[in-house]
């Protein structure tokens, strides 16, 4: 009998136990699933007005303006004070020769806030701008 146990120890390992590997992978999967719910994406909450006509602005690269309900202005997601608006636009125009702008304003935004952004763009020499809308399908 002692000879038998000696032979068993000398045999090659012919299989790999993958149970611990599966356990570790399931634990990692659970950790990733739980932490994915806590990832916050920084965004500005606005509700775009609807329009039946419009073009897909995702095809061109432009300077993005967002105006929320309280008339706060954001340039490419960064909040900016109204008094600094013209300066920031002129800096951007100085670094880029061909500039276009995309203005997204909440439908509850006062008209004057949108006009202020358009006026600052035109004073800085930006004549290509568009207003972002939520396309409405005609039936």
Cα–Cα distance for residue pair 99/63, rounded to 1 Å: 7
Question: Over 90: is that where the pLDDT of 92 sits?
Answer: no
> Which has more pLDDT, 62 or 53?
62
In tens, the pLDDT along 112-126 reads 999 999 999 888 888
Mean pLDDT of the chain: 80
Q: How many contiguous H segments (helices) and E segments (strands) does the chain have?
A: 4, 7
Domains annotated on the chain, with CATH: 2-36 (no CATH), 50-135 (3.30.420.270)
Question: Over 90: is that where the pLDDT of 27 sits?
Answer: yes
Long-range contacts from 91-97, C-beta under 8 angstroms, 24+ separation: 92/63, 93/124, 93/125, 93/126
| Average confidence (pLDDT) over 21-50 | 81
pTM: 0.57
Cα–Cα distance for residue pair 79/36, rounded to 1 Å: 27
Least confident of 6-15, 112-121, 126-135: 6-15
What are the distances in angstroms from CA 27 to CA 18, 36, 110?
A: 14, 14, 51
């Amino acid at each position: 009998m002692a000879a038998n146990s000696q032979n068993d120890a000398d045999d090659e390992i012919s299989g790999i136990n993958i149970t611990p590997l599966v356990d570790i992978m399931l634990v990692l999967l659970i950790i990733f699933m739980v932490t994915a719910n806590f990832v916050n994406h920084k965004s500005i909450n606005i509700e775009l007005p609807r329009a039946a006509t419009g073009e897909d602005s995702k095809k061109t690269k432009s300077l993005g303006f967002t105006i929320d309900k309280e008339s706060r202005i954001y340039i490419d997601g960064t909040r900016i004070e109204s008094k600094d608006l013209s300066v920031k636009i002129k800096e951007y125009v100085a670094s880029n020769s061909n500039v276009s702008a995309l203005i997204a304003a909440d439908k509850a935004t006062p008209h004057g806030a949108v006009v202020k952004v358009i006026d600052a763009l035109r004073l800085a020499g930006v004549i290509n701008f568009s207003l972002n809308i939520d396309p409405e399908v005609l039936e």
